Amino acid sequence: MNLQNPKKFKLLTDQAHEVALNVLRPISRKYDKAEHAYPKELDMLASVVDGMNAGGDGMNAGAAVNKRGDTASGNKNGVNMSTALSIVEMCYGDTGLLLSMPRQGLGNSAIAAVANDEQLQRFHGTWAAMAITEPGCGSDSAAIRTTAVADGDDYILNGEKIFVTSGERADAVVVWATLDKKLGRAAIKSFVVPKGTPGMTVERLEHKLGIKASDTAAISFVDCRVPASNLLGNAEIDVSKGFAGVMETFDNTRPLVAAMAIGCAKASLERIKQIFKHELDEHYQTAYLHSSQITAQIYRMEAEWEAARLLMLKAAWMADNKQPNSKEASIAKAKAGRVGNEITLKCVELAAAVGYNEDELLEKWARDSKILDIFEGTQQIQQLIIARRELGKSSSELK
């Protein structure tokens, strides 16, 4: 495994880095304080990103699209890798603003992962949010209670979703619902529900610890009628396949959440190294045991960060090369989520008063990083998935 970033993505990552420093950082505190206000500065930036995506490997939350019609063999660094590397740099600027980028929602990843060719074309350019979590169902996505009942050429949705990122701003919401509660996971399907559909109501926007620039909505569905053609993928319930169809989304997005954590932690690490630059040996020639306590802690954080980065790259590379990566995606997300939060909090601690006040962004990065260990599956859920894969157990056998 080559441990360097692919050279062909250097221009892309350099551009993302410059955007982080010159566009996102300057407005980071502004939208942290103006919670729920839409960052209008992102409109022009989103148009640039759209152009990058149209031209080939760019930054596209629908990273799974690379698998379609791709018959190339051998080592491939494609859109999953380019997306992950771009996200690292963008979150080096601001995680909440990245999550607010138009047409880069997690719902776009669901469309890319399981939509058919006609749906891909029809929903092209749509900004899609993802609605999975419910009041009585958090980490166990298979326990969702939102129902979808066939009615002629439509489905009627009833239920409630919470913690929907970009739920108010997005053009559409990808809603997970069950066709038959008695059949469990196999009956869960995803539906694209356009904004303004009768019966879909944004009930409230959440006030959060971090990522305040990103709107997080609670949405209700009361007799919400959706065309059957908006059901993503196969409408048939295949008990033998179970949950596999909709879960393909997570295999592509969990490495991206890991990339978010790595980018946010990178920002904190660089700042703490600047603060203590006179104590650090930039060439790493001083033995670890001969270093000061602060220096040793920074070196340890760097090592953990690098381990998380490499795990993320592996999961993204496997997705590009059409290798099953469910376990690796969970490993990357679990490691990066935990390490990212630990690093940002430790940097606040080491910087003392400098890290705790709002003159610096260190305290903001610490608040932002916490969600990256929670959404897309908590730390505990990732460890459970990894254990199931390692032991060859099903979800019913290992809970």
Both ends of the chain: CA-CA distance in Å? 34
CA 30/CA 40 separation, integer angstroms? 12
CA 307/CA 305 separation, integer angstroms? 5
From the list 306, 376, 390, 397, the catalytic residue is: 376
Written as one letter, the residue type at 247 is M
CA 43/CA 350 separation, integer angstroms? 37
| Closest C-alpha to 267, from 50, 97, 35 | 97
Question: Which letter does DSSP use for residue 269 in this model?
Answer: H
Distances (CA, A) of 345 to 32, 73, 202: 18, 43, 33
**Alpha-helical segments (H) within the chain:** 10-19, 25-33, 42-54, 79-93, 95-99, 106-114, 117-122, 244-275, 293-320, 326-351, 353-356, 362-371, 379-391
Let me know if 236 is a catalytic residue.
no
Distances (CA, A) of 150 to 155, 224, 225, 229: 4, 12, 10, 12
Q: How many Å is the Cα radius of gyration of the chain?
A: 21
Residues 70 and 183: beta-carbon distance below 8 Å: no
In terms of Cβ atoms closer than 10 Å to its own Cβ (0-12, 13-18, 19+), residue 29 is middle
Residues 51 and 220: beta-carbon distance below 8 Å: no
CA 234/CA 349 separation, integer angstroms? 50
Distances (CA, A) of 58 to 8, 48, 78, 352: 11, 10, 9, 39
Positions annotated as catalytic residues are 376
